[in-house]
Homo-oligomer: A and B are copies of this chain.
Amino acid sequence: MAEPQCPECGRINEVLSRVGDRWSVLVVISLAQYGVLRFNALKRHLGISQRMLSLTLRELERDGLVSRTYHPTIPPKVEYALTPLGESFREPVKALGLWALEHLPAIDAARAEYDAAAEAEKKTA
């Protein structure tokens, strides 16, 4: 693709591809809500596959949003929590989550209407 005429869009794009994916957002939301969570707790809570959770957590740790604490007990115990940077991400994410919950019905309605109109269109043709 051609580079964007707008450099800001390129950079926002860049950050969004890092921490903007679905699983990252959901992990941050969960940690924000519960403070500290173990691997399998997160897994069950989100309904995410082991593989994706592992990858997502590693990326989040790498980006400095999440801290990983390993307790070498038997059985092993690993706890994940938000770093200060992760905490700062809470606000915008929370806003997004709230908007999502609030406007889901409106989106569903718009979608139904659009589909109905498209269906009517087909009859005309």
Contacts and interface: CB of A to CB of B under 8 A. Distances in A.
Give the number of copies in the complex: 2
Contact of A9 (B46, B96, B110): B46
A4 interface: yes
Interface in A7-30: 8-20, 22, 25-26, 29-30
A10 B26 CA distance: 9
B25 A107 contact: no
The 3 closest A-B CB pairs, nearest first, are: A64-B110, A4-B47, A15-B100
Interface of A: 1-6, 8-20, 22, 25-26, 29-30, 44-49, 61-65, 85, 88-89, 91-93, 95-101, 103-104, 106-107, 109-111, 113-115
